[in-house]
Amino acid sequence: LLFQLAKRFPHMVDVWQVASSSEGRNIYAIKVMHCYLKDAAKRFSFAQIGYPSNTKKPILWIDAGIHAREWIAHSTALYIIWQVREVCHQKKMDIVVVPNTNPDGYEYSRKINRMWRKTSDQCSGVDGNRNYPFHFGEEGVSHWPCQYVSYTLLITSQHFVY
């Protein structure tokens, strides 16, 4: 779907590979350019969304599929892309969506264990929500890597942490 959208709307959609998973699966991002969403200023704080250093146009970043078993997140991200491309034409902001940040865990949840939430690394994988630098290793995590809510000992060790 990502590449179909890029082919159909080349003036406003760009797709690129942002990373590869530990098992070699591609992780893609899609950028929908030139967006102006009604009431966006009320719903989003552009200071939180961020301005990349090379532009003054804000970018809204959405990633999905961090937890492997939450399959609806992938579909929701794709739906957002489809809906947003209809209102993007006024060059106010770009929206970047990564529909599946954890393709290895997703495949593992599809084929082996439906309730799997982590990556498929090491003995039990890494919980993606616990691999970002913000409040790393604090409450609600196990320091044992084979535990259900564990984190890796290395901050941002997973491919989906950009």
CA-CA-CA-CA torsion sign (113, 116, 121, 123): negative
Report the percentage of the chain scoring pLDDT > 70.
56
Per-residue pLDDT tens over the stretch 118-156: 777 655 666 666 666 656 556 666 666 665 555 554 545
Q: Is 71 exposed, middle or buried (0-12, 13-18, 19+ CB in 10 A)?
A: middle
CB 110 within 8 A of CB 33: no
CB under 8 Å to 144, separation ≥6 — which residues? 150
Q: CA 62 to CA 149: how far, in whole Å?
A: 23
User: pTM for the whole thing?
Assistant: 0.71
**pLDDT digit string (tens) for 2-39?**
899 889 888 888 899 988 888 899 999 998 887 655 55
Q: Where are the domains of the chain?
A: 2-103
Confidence bin at 72 (pLDDT 50/70/90): very high
Give the lowest-confidence range in 14-23, 62-71, 87-96. Answer: 87-96
